[in-house]
Amino acid sequence: MAEAPPSDVRTNFVDWAPILAGAVAASAISFVLFTAGAAIGLSLLSPYPSQSYGKWAATLSAFWAIFVPIFSLLIGGYIAGRMRGAWSTYPDEVEFRDGVHGLLVWSTALFIGVVLAFFAAGTAAQVGGQLGKAAISDRGALVASSVDALVRPTPGALPPNQPSGPVQPLNETELTRILIASTANGSIEADDRAYLTQIVATRTGLPPEAAEKRVDEVFAKALEAIETARKTAIAAGLATATALLLGLAAAWYAAQRGGHHRDHSIPARFSIVVLRKDA
C-alpha cells in the first residue's frame, strides 16, 4: 500500500516576501560589487604606458562580469530558501519548491536590473539631448576616425590647388553618412567612390590614383572596425547570458541549501552554503 503524503493545507505555494528580500539583496550586492570592480578596473588603466595594465583590466572585467551575478544570486537564493515558511510534505517536494523560490529570486532580480537599466538609459538620453541635440550613431562613432583619416594631409604631398574665392568648409557629416551607408552595404558605389576621391584629392593634394587608393584603404579600415565591434558585442552577449544562466543555477542551489538548513536548524554560514552540500 502506497504511503500517504504528509498533510499540507496550504493553497499558496509561493512566499513572495522572502523572494523579494532575496532579489533586493542580490541586486544591492551586485551593484556594490560592480561599482567596486569598475573602480579597480580604472585603477589598472593610465595614460602612462608604464602604469597601465590593459590586459589585466580586460581579464578582471570578464571574470567580474561572471563572478558577481553568481555570488550575489547565491546569497539572494539562500535568503529566500532560508526565510520562507516550512512545508509539511515529502522532502523531494520541499527541495523542489525551495529551488523554484531561488528561480523566482533570479527572475525578480533580473527584472529589477532591467528596469533600472531602462530608467538609466532614459536619463542618459535626456541629458544627452540637453547637452547636444546632434547625436551620432554607434556606427557613426566607429567610422568617425576613418573620416578624419580620409582627408588628413599626407606628409610630403604637394599643397592642394585651392580655387579662387572662399574655401568651402568640409562637410564631415556627409562623409560620415556615405561611409555608414557603404559599410552597411559592404561596398562603395561607384558614384560615392568618385565623389570621395575628388574630395580627398582636393583637400590633400594627392593625385587621383593615390586619392582613390586612400578611399579604399579607409573604407577597409572602417569595415574592420565595425566587424570588430560586432564580434565584441556578440562575445559580450554570450558572456552575459552565460553569467545569468550560472546565476540561475546558483540561486536554485542556494535556495535548496537554505531550505535544508531551515528545516534542520543549521546555522547560516556561507561556507556551508557553498562547500558542504551534505550539511
Q: Give the pLDDT confidence of 68-111 residue by residue, as tens digits.
A: 999 999 999 999 999 988 877 788 888 999 999 999 999 999 99
Q: Does the pLDDT value for residue 158 go beyond 70?
A: no
Weakest mean pLDDT among 101-110, 166-175, 219-228, 262-271: 166-175
- Whose cell is 512545508? That residue is 87
Q: Give the pLDDT confidence of 211-257 residue by residue, as tens digits.
A: 888 888 888 888 888 888 888 888 888 888 899 999 999 999 999 99
Q: Does the pLDDT value for residue 176 go beyond 90?
A: no
Give the HSE-up count for residue 183: Cα atoms under 13 Å, Cβ half-sphere: 29
Please count the other Cβ atoms lying within 10 Å of the Cβ belonging to residue 45: 13
pLDDT band at 162 (very low <50, low <70, confident <90, very high): low
Q: Give the pLDDT confidence of 8-28 residue by residue, as tens digits.
A: 556 677 899 999 999 999 999
Q: Does the pLDDT value for residue 2 go beyond 50?
A: no
Q: Does the pLDDT value for residue 263 go beyond 80?
A: yes
